[in-house]
Amino acid sequence: MSKIILAINAGSSSVKVSVFSYHPTTSPNNPPSSKDNRDQIDTSLTELAQIQISNLTASPALLTYTRQGSSNNSSSPTTPNKNSPLPTSISTPRTAFQKILSVLLQDPDLPDLNSPADITVAVHRIVHGGGDFSTPTFLDDDETVAHLERLSDLAPLHNGGALEIVAAVRELGGSSKNDGEGDGKEAGKRKGKVRNLGLFDNMFHSATLPAEERAYMISPAKARSEGLRRYGFHGLSCAFITRAVGAWLERIQPSPSPPSPSRQQQQQQQPQSDPKGPNLIALHLGSGCSATCIQSGVSIATSMGLTPVSGLPGATRSGDVDPSLIFHYTHSAGRLSTASAADAEKTSEERGGNKMHITRAETILNKESGWKSLAGTTDFGALCAMAFPSSPSSSSSSSNPNNNNEEERKLAHLAFTILVSRIVDFIAAYYVKLSGEVDALVFAGGIGEKGSQLRKAVVEKIQCLGFELDGDLNAGPAFKGGEDVVAEIGKSGAKHRVVICQTDEQREMARECVGVMGGEF
């Protein structure tokens, strides 16, 4: 019997849900969590649908729904709704999730999902688990959820949406497709509740970052009491990248040469590492950007720190700045932001009982900075069109570069070059940490996958390290389809490989969920 898994990825302005069907193929005596059977998980997971509501902070919210196959048994993805505008009442992660669930339950082409009772597990991506949540954790009891809510002041901009949806899932009733959208008020009246599993984006880094990478030079007592350390994020993406690129490297290098003395020394110094794991410099580049140094399959350094705002700049994030900058930028850095004060007054019905405490400093560095502050747009494709108006790859952008004045072009170009420079800085540092033993430089995330101009600019800066691009492959990466999510774009014969990985956080969540559930499935 198949099991339905909802992989829920809630951001500050969007909610994305993937529906997976899992068909157990292992016996209770040898569950999926055992090492011998983890490789079978992917073949037993089938993605049925993917649905997203975006633009939550700028009405109207937009719904996009893609289903694998349709009523005519086609195996090709179909898109019943794409960028469909929604009522203004859909404005929070909680209301977005309720709408998403309604759409899924009313779809006749999803026969395995007739009511909330058909959902076995809802697995949630939660950005920040602090030091108390560094492994997969079931969020089915009030005490655990309350503990996580108390930690959320460490990352109020990042955890709030996920916790709203956890609350909504815990209230699910047993309505069917014929019952309409429902409001979840019959919570607890049915016999079985949907399990809630939390996966934390700092998990990939928590156990393997060495002390010198974790610690800040502040009072150790204060650091311990307040949980002030580097955590690192984009962990689900990093886990997917490590596994996918590692498998790809094994396929193209079935008989690798013995490791060099320096690689052997690295492996001896990292006893917690899988000696078969790859050495990667992984770049997750999207609206949020990060770089991670992966040695023998585990994280040994990463750009994001206590929160995701540190490290590389993003669409609205500043990245690394002098800590005193914010006190010169505004004299009200420690006050609650206007948005936070309004949020704190919202009712339990609207936010699931979670109150937000966001300072003006956090708002500036997380929401009012990044390339939007320089170029006036969060769309990196539009930024490239402004920065390089004569570039052929900019012609497809929705923005018309001919309408931009010279000052706008200069600011867009500055934003582009700042990002390139910061990325190169991390690549160089991580190259040294790996003693030059790099199996691949990996570009991932929306910009990493689609930004050929950015990839070209970055790799040109690091040719001295032995990285080179193939211009044709960079312009049109050759993914072989199916389960192949890695494409090589480096020049043949170069010292180090350069690849693109189509990272899939939701699939990684579903895969991790199966491993955690083990014999319970």
User: What is the C-alpha separation between 11 and 158, in angstroms, rounded?
Assistant: 7
* DSSP 8-state assignment for residue 323: T
Q: Is 16 annotated as a binding residue?
A: yes
Q: Is 285 annotated as a binding residue?
A: yes
**Alpha helices for 291-443 (secondary structure H):** 325-329, 338-344, 348-351, 360-367, 370-375, 380-387, 406-433
Which one of 42, 112, 201, 379 is the catalytic residue? 201
The CA–CA distances, whole Å, from 279 to 207, 437, 470 equal 17, 7, 22
What the block records as the tokens of 276 is 């078969």
User: What is the C-alpha separation between 66 and 472, in angstroms, rounded?
Assistant: 30
User: What is the C-alpha separation between 208 and 439, in angstroms, rounded?
Assistant: 19
Q: Is 445 annotated as a binding residue?
A: no
**Neighbouring residues of 445: CB distance < 8 A, sequence distance ≥ 6:** 237, 283, 284, 285, 286, 289, 503
Q: Is 287 annotated as a binding residue?
A: yes
Contact 44, 25 (CB under 8 A): yes
Q: Is 505 annotated as a binding residue?
A: yes
Question: Is position 425 annotated as part of the catalytic site?
Answer: no
Contact 40, 23 (CB under 8 A): no
Q: Is 284 annotated as a binding residue?
A: yes
**Neighbouring residues of 100: CB distance < 8 A, sequence distance ≥ 6:** 15, 17, 51, 53, 63
Q: What are phi and psi of 102, to 5 degrees?
A: -60, -45
Q: Is 286 annotated as a binding residue?
A: yes
Q: Is 461 annotated as a binding residue?
A: no
End-to-end CA gap in the chain: 10
Query: Which residues are known binding-site members?
Result: 9, 16, 125, 284-288, 505
- Catalytic residues, by residue number, are 201
Binding residues for ATP: 16, 284-288
Binding-site residues for Mg(2+): 9, 505
